[in-house]
Amino acid sequence: MTPNQQLITSFYKAFQNKDYKAMQNCYAEEAIFNDEVFQNLNAAEVKAMWEMFCIKGKDLEIEFSNVKADEKGGNAEWTARYTFSKTNRKVVNHIKAHFVIDSGKILNHRDHFDFHKWASQALGATGVLLGWTPIVKNKVRREGKKNLIAYMNNK
């Protein structure tokens, strides 16, 4: 296993164990994170996001596979199973991750998932009917960022 494969594997094993401190340690101080909900998070924000998910995700279960890496970065696939707290609905989210790694730390982390499929599960009928629209996506992004900021401010 290459060092970057080991880093990505360690990251997801820590996530499975809800060990957010080990996850945080995988990131460079100038790291950036993006996914369909959380946009352009800096290192402090992404570290707080994983902490928030680990602490608040009472029934969160993580599986990962297909970890591949070279000297510049890597990719993985992972699945999150959890209850979306706002609606109390079960979600199974399949995610493809891409990493840029430098000096043994994650510099850029990009997760991609089908937002409409996620919204259909998390939001129910609203997500099924409107989850593909920018209006719903932008509202979820605003709420996600607001929740992250509130979490960071209350620590």
Q: Name, in order, each residue with C-beta under 8 angstroms of 65's C-beta and a sequence gap of 6 or more.
A: 76, 77, 78
Q: Tokens in use for 139?
A: 């509202």
pLDDT at residue 58 in the model:
86
45 within domain boundaries: yes
Q: How many domains does the chain contain in total? A: 1
User: The domain containing residue 32 runs over which residues?
Assistant: 3-113
Q: What is the pLDDT of residues 102-135, one digit of tens each?
A: 999 999 999 999 999 999 999 998 889 998 889 9
Q: What is the pLDDT of residues 20-40, one digit of tens each?
A: 999 999 999 999 999 999 999
130 within domain boundaries: no
pLDDT at residue 109 in the model:
98
pTM assigned to the model: 0.94
144 within domain boundaries: no
- The CATH number for 15's domain is 3.10.450.50
Residue 155, pLDDT above cutoff 90: no
